[in-house]
Amino acid sequence: MKNNLSAYITAITLFVAPAIPSQLLAQQPRYKLVDMGTFGGPQGYLSEESQILNNQGTVAGFLDTSTTDPNFPNFSNCFNPDCFFSHAFQWQHGVLTDLGALPGGGTSLVSWISDNGLIAGLSENGVTDPLTGTAEGRAVLWSNGTIINLGALPGGNESYTNAVNSAGQLIGASSNDIPDPFSLYGWGTETRAVLWRNGTMQDLGTLGGPDAAALNLNERGQISGYSYTNSTPNSSTGVPTAEPFLWERGEMKSLGGLGGTYGYTIALNNSGQAAGISNLVGDLAFHPFLWSNGTLTDLGTFGGTMGNPNYMNDAGEVVGQANYPGDVIHHAFLWKDGVLRDLGTLDKCSTAYGINSKDQVVGASGDCGIGVHAFLWEKGKMMDLTKLIPPGVELVEAIGINDRGEIACEGRITGPSGADSGAITGVQHAFLLIPESGENTQTTTGATQDSSPSTGTAPLSREPGGRRRYQIPGPGTGPTN
């Protein structure tokens, strides 16, 4: 498949606005901005609650092509909110690569990139799922320019990866052929937690109910997720009781909960600590939790009934958002050393999406869903990243930050950007911010790679992870920025 890439990357050197007093200039980080552009369509995307930027500075996400989904204008059946097909991409060392899709498939997306550059995701395969009436999605791995179809369990029509580690292990979920009215991903049949390794798919089992999903994976091969414990729906949620689990050495064990009937993990670090969310007694409130060495800790809120973790580093420091009394206002939090810290806000509300090993936190802040701005928080101070870039781009969400201080963001092209990129005013793009004083700070115009990804079903190599299509049902809908 030959790729026709109509957009290219624009690299822009960013300077602090002259209005900032000179005594503050040295305190403000300066970045170079790389616009990922698109593959001919209007928008670009990054997955939340995922590793989409590794410590080598490689970014992975998905960009619109120029082809509209045949379901247009029935947006509810389209894969993307704008009803354009999109392709997974990799940006590395100034080169943007279209990773393509499975033969016959229109859209592919990225869910995780490993530390050594393996990319996990999903691709349509050109087949309509007879149970859902929508395009089938299959779990895929991209390795060295090759897209590998990981398949599904016997009789299943759907599968999805959530993460991949440097050993080439992948985890996620697959449907099977057993009807299930409470299918976790709405597939119509049982959803099963699965592990792909050495070219083989393994069903990890459940905690007693029909369904489970593997959501998180670390470099040690530990897996976390959630599972039904029975088949009887609760009146408070309408679905069976679900509990978070940790799977290791062939055994799945429950991590417990905070008294309610629904919980799941959101992050798992290389120390074996898991962060997640759980209902409280009565299922009217949900809190973030941290599980560590057999102990489940309620991280609490700022007085409201809801809180949500989004990411965790290897030191067990958790970031997310927590409500204030009344559940109208929420602020970004950092949980560290047993203390839930309010990171403040640029307006009324804020949410933290990522943290690195240096306690730099990124996220978004605004008027609780209106006027969202990407932020960087460090050393007790929250900074609006949009104010550090020239006119023409509004950064709306900072989703990930690596240990080099590079930041992956989504933003809007709002006007002249300093280059004739042909971008459509007001549309969303994916961006990478590179610190001026850090590594890999050369200012060059990135080149797109016109590649023809090959396909295969070869075993995975043993030598050498929002925004998910399938929304996880849970204790409620978290607040917006």
pLDDT digits (tens, 9 = 90+) for 78-106: 888 899 999 999 999 999 999 999 999 99
Whether 441 shows a pLDDT value over 70: the answer reads: no
Residue 69 lies in a domain: yes
Flag whether 89 is in a domain: yes
Question: How does pLDDT run across 422-433, given as a tens digit for each residue?
Answer: 444 578 999 999
Provide the CATH number for the domain around residue 61. 2.120.10
Residue at 481 is within a domain: no
pLDDT score for 28: 56
Residue 314 covered by a domain: no
Rounded to an integer, what distance in angstroms lies between the CA atom of residue 306 and that of residue 330? 9
Q: How far is 433 from 431, CA to CA, in rounded Å?
A: 7
Residue 1 pLDDT greater than 90, yes or no: no
Work out the number of other CB atoms within 10 angstroms of the CB of residue 259: 15
On whether residue 203 sits in a domain, the answer given is: yes
Domain count, the chain: 1
DSSP string over 167-213: TS-EEEEEEEEEE-TT-TTS-SEEEEEEEEETTEEEE---SSSS-EE
Tell whether 135 is covered by a domain: yes
Averaged pLDDT, 277-299: 97
Q: Is residue 179 part of a domain?
A: yes
Q: Which residues contact 345 (CB under 8 A, 6 or more apart)?
A: 331, 332, 365, 382
pLDDT in tens, 133-189: 889 999 999 998 899 999 999 999 999 999 999 999 999 999 999 999 999 999 999
pLDDT digits (tens, 9 = 90+) for 197-242: 999 999 999 999 999 999 999 999 999 999 999 999 999 999 999 9
Other beta carbons within 10 angstroms of residue 126's beta carbon come to 13
pLDDT given at position 137: 95
What was the pLDDT predicted at 60? Answer: 98
CA-CA distance, 201 to 303, in Å (whole number)?
44
d(CA 479, CA 100): 34
Q: Is residue 83 part of a domain?
A: yes
Domain that holds residue 106: 47-298
pLDDT per residue as tens digits for the range 331-372: 999 999 999 999 999 999 999 999 999 999 999 999 987 778
DSSP secondary structure letters along 346-367: SSSEEEEEEE-TT--EEEEEES
In this structure, the number of other CB atoms found within 10 A of the CB of residue 287 comes to 27
